[in-house]
A and B are shown apart, each in its own frame.
Chain A
Amino acid sequence: DGGITQSPKYLFRKEGQNVTLSCEQNLNHDAMYWYRQDPGQGLRLIYYSQIVNDFQKGDIAEGYSVSREKKESFPLTVTSAQKNPTAFYLCASSTGTGFEKLFFGSGTQLSVL
């Protein structure tokens, strides 16, 4: 079945540590996105990529980094510079280069130890 796979489901970060969230899709979608969701704040865009080897910052990119070396994969690294990383992270993809209908993965809950 086609879909978006995020791993791990739960992740704990120690202070000063970088952690990487995985996102893989087999939908043959060109565009991929990372959102952060905090209680009561909706979804906020971190980074997006419309094509392999290219990506753009979203509204809250500071403290995060991404890569897009393969069409299927768009990993997100939460760096030690992100001082408040506790949130629900959602990866999404869409068919075109525009932000059309988004298909979401199951999410990763990141917490700080």
Chain B
Amino acid sequence: QKEVEQNSGPLSVPEGAIASLNCTYSDRGSQSFFWYRQYSGKSPELIMFIYSNGDKEDGRFTAQLNKASQYVSLLIRDSQPSDSATYLCAVLTRGYQKVTFGIGTKLQVIP
């Protein structure tokens, strides 16, 4: 079992719709959870982080964490073509020893 699992996609959504990206992790003691956005050929950029169970909202983005089920998700409301990118889920392991990344989900927003 991979430590952090994501569907590689592509996930296609029409412009203006809600995009839902999901991630599961294996280490129940994981501390912190991050979502990075990566455009093709560019470096990842942190867009959301969440530490506690529940929802965290920042503009059009909402991160959701459920530690009991060991999943974290990212919702993008009113999706725009500029949101088309690969979204990487990252998990900070217990003891803050390292961050493990998923393979990323490619999102395509169709105009």
Interface, chain A (partner B; CB < 8 A): 35, 40-45, 48, 58, 90, 97-107
Contact = CB atoms under 8 A, between A and B. Distances in A.
B3 to A, nearest CB: 10
A42 B36 CA distance: 11
Interface string B7-48: 010000000000000000000000010101000001111100
Nearest to A96: B96
B44 A100 contact: no
A107 B98 CA distance: 20
Interface residues of B, number: 21
Contacts, number: 48
Given A40-B8, A42-B88, A101 B46 contact: yes
In the A-B complex, the 5 residue pairs with the closest CB atoms: A98-B96, A104-B43, A42-B103, A43-B101, A99-B99
Contact of B43 (A41, A58, A101, A107): A107
Contacts of B34: 101-102
A44 B98 CA distance: 11
Interface of B: 8, 32, 34, 36, 42-46, 49, 88, 90, 92, 96-99, 101-104
A76 to B, nearest CB: 15
B86 to A, nearest CB: 9
Given A41-B103, A42-B103, A42-B104, A106 B92 contact: no
A68 to B, nearest CB: 17
